[in-house]
A and B are shown apart, each in its own frame.
Chain A
Amino acid sequence: MAQLKGWREIPIGGVILEAGNAVEYKTGGWRAFRPVFGQAQCIHCFQCWLFCPDSSILVDAENEKMVGFDLDHCKGCGICASVCPVNAKVIRQAGEKVNRDDPRLCIRMVEEGKAP
């Protein structure tokens, strides 16, 4: 963690003088739930990227692929799982082990040759 500044060193009134520095605030620590990604059946529609309120969907822009989550900033709201049209994501209690037998986790269904 960066050294916290004293009251003489910071702008008055809580004003933030630089733009675009929300990324420096790691809100991932607030997370009680964690998204889990089923890569195989993701159709890369970017619905999750569009809806994520914390810009925490990591994408490979060049290849137009969804590649994972920025867990430093994801607050675990579950909107990504909710909007996923192929159920490629589930939301789990943080720390809870992913149960690969969960019928909602489509990676297992794909492995079994079923439609996600």
Chain B
Amino acid sequence: MSKYEALTGDQAVATAMRQINPDVVAAYPITPQTETVEFFAEYVANGEVTTDFICVESEHSAMSACVGASAAGARVMTATSANGLALMWEVVYIAASLRCPIVMSLVNRALSGPINIHCDHSDVMGMRDSGWIILFSENGQEAYDNIIQAVRIAEHPDVLLPVAVCQDGFITSHAMERVEVYDDADVKAFVGTYRPKWSILDVDNPKTYGPLDFYDYYYEHKRQQVEAMEHARRVILEVADEFNRKFRRNYGLFEAYRLDDADVAVVVTNSTAGTAKVVVDGLRAQGLKVGLLKPRVFRPFPAKELAQALRHLKAVAVMDRSIAFGSMNNAGPLFLELTAALAIHGVHIPVADYIFGLGGRDIKPSEVESVYRDMLRVAETGRVERLVTYLSVRE
């Protein structure tokens, strides 16, 4: 039987990790994911898991230890955030390239500087082209559910790629909410036993991991990674389907909230989607046809499906919690990718980008409402006056 518990987002992730009981966890605490590692270290100390917990001296070493353990055939998990992820950088790419199905809890936080420890999405957007599968979570429940599904996605024989599960730093990582925690046995049955393709510890069949790979074969290995990402599109939905049936959830590539008959919509990830739902309900009560699209899967990017889901709208606003400096109009990464998807798939509707919440700046319902009101005007005129708005920045 599942039970409801009051957990922070970090605790929810640690709980999933306890139930999954991975073979190896190597992590280095960095705010705001520290709690996850602390809780998990307690589980290790109390004997509630049989995990080998490797205390490392830095995040670079944490990810390196994860790659080594994964090459040995272990089920491996880690957690990080912001500058910790930045320090892992080199090995983040190697984990994907060596096809290590590592699952990482990534609590989204601004990259310094100036020094900041609060929420935005500049950390994860830095790894968007690293070859990892990237999932977003609105709240602790989704972080918990995504971590469990991530294990199955990563380890699928057609995928074998690492997965990062994101949630918003402090906003959900440290906020206590009601989380439905499933029965330990049910989670264990769902994730199953990892059967690695190869193990570097198989001394009877010696193998080499991470050799020199020059102009003659490196390119072919990159092509294989593309294939794995393409398989992931199917596998993510298969795993979600099984998860939804077993645990009575409704996961897909994205969540559409009151979108079917909407005229305008906001596209936003993670916790702000929760705020936007409240705003949508308020505006709907006033008879305004507004909706929300909350992407769950960012890598692989579901371009066709997103374009299809937004096709009927009269105006769309993307809300980005990071800036792609120097990109077209200094927009946000989600906007850049989504507008490309809309154009390629023949959806020609007015779109605008709203940068918000950098460095943990609060995003208020009234501010989200102002975005909807802007878009309702755009829907009437058919004209976007400002492509990128830096919402609530002081002039």
Q: Name A's B-contacting residues (CB within 8 A).
A: 4-7, 10, 12-17, 19
Contacts and interface: CB of A to CB of B under 8 A. Distances in A.
Contact of A4 (B98, B100, B206, B216): B216
A88 B211 CA distance: 35
B109 interface: no
Contacts of B97: 13-14
Interface stretch (B137-145, B218-226, B380-388): B218-226
A12 B206 contact: no
Q: How would you classify the secondary structure of chain A's contact residues: helix, strand, loop or mixed?
A: loop
Contacts of B207: 15-17, 19
Nearest to A14: B213
B211 A12 contact: no
A73 to B, nearest CB: 14
27 contacts: A4-B216, A5-B220, A7-B220, A7-B221, A10-B220, A10-B224, A12-B99, A12-B197, A12-B221, A12-B228, A13-B98, A13-B99, A13-B100, A14-B209, A14-B210, A14-B217, A14-B218, A14-B221, A15-B98, A15-B99, A15-B198, A15-B208, A16-B208, A17-B198, A17-B207, A19-B206, A19-B207
B217 A10 contact: yes
A19 B205 CA distance: 8
A4 B217 contact: yes
Which of A5, A6, A13, A17 counts the most B-chain CB atoms under 10 A from its CB?
Answer: A13
Contacts of A7: 220-221, 223-224, 227
A70 to B, nearest CB: 19
B223 A14 contact: no
B160 interface: yes
Contacts, number: 52
A15 B218 CA distance: 12
How many of chain B's residues touch chain A, expressed as a range?
Answer: 20 to 34
A10 B225 CA distance: 12
A72 B98 CA distance: 29
A65 B116 CA distance: 67
B206 A14 contact: no
A5 B227 CA distance: 17
A17 B204 CA distance: 11
Given A7-B223, A7-B224, A13 B217 contact: no
A6 to B, nearest CB: 7
A56 B224 CA distance: 35
A21 B97 CA distance: 22
B128 to A, nearest CB: 21
Give 7 closest A-B pairs by Cβ, nearest first. A13-B99, A7-B220, A16-B208, A19-B206, A7-B223, A13-B98, A14-B213
Contacts of A17: 198, 205, 207
Contacts of A16: 207-208, 211
Contacts of A14: 97-98, 209-211, 213, 217-218, 221
Given A4-B216, A19-B206, A13 B221 contact: yes
Contacts of A19: 206-208
Nearest to B214: A25
Interface in B225-256: 227-228
A5 B224 CA distance: 13
Nearest to B222: A7
Contacts of B198: 15, 17
Interface in B176-213: 197-198, 205-211, 213
Nearest to A10: B220
Nearest to B210: A14
Nearest to A4: B216
A6 B223 CA distance: 10
